[in-house]
Amino acid sequence: MKDKICINCFISGRVQGVWFRANTQKEAQKLGVNGWVRNLQDGRVEVMACGTADQLEQLKAWLRQGPEKAEVTDFECHEIPCQNFKDFDVV
């Protein structure tokens, strides 16, 4: 993909047990973004995502809100070296 960038994000708050990962996967697939999402032992959710700047801005906007029952209290994202992912997985 031309002009592809990758980001690594950490989302805090009520983000586990509220279908955050499954809904993140659904949103990423809808946007055409590849990567993965996982729960961390400290209660946060981590997202690794690759796509165009526009796709990733849309994903970040969604991550700041999360699914209906989530309550995002902190959101941190930074750009990382590009990686190749085939799909967007829950890991």
Q: How far is CA 79 from the centre of its chain?
A: 12
Question: pLDDT (tens digit, 9 = 90+) per residue, 46-90?
Answer: 999 999 999 999 999 999 999 999 999 999 999 999 999 999 999
Count the Cβ atoms, other than its own, within 10 Å of residue 88: 25
Q: Where along the chain do its domains lie? A: 39-86
- 41-57 residue pLDDT tens: 999 999 999 999 999 99
pTM of the model: 0.95
Considering the candidates 14, 21, 38, 64, report the single residue annotated as catalytic.
Answer: 21
Residue among 23, 39, 44, 64 flagged as catalytic: 39
Strand positions, DSSP E, 1-91: 5-14, 34-39, 45-51, 71-80, 88-90
39 is catalytic: yes
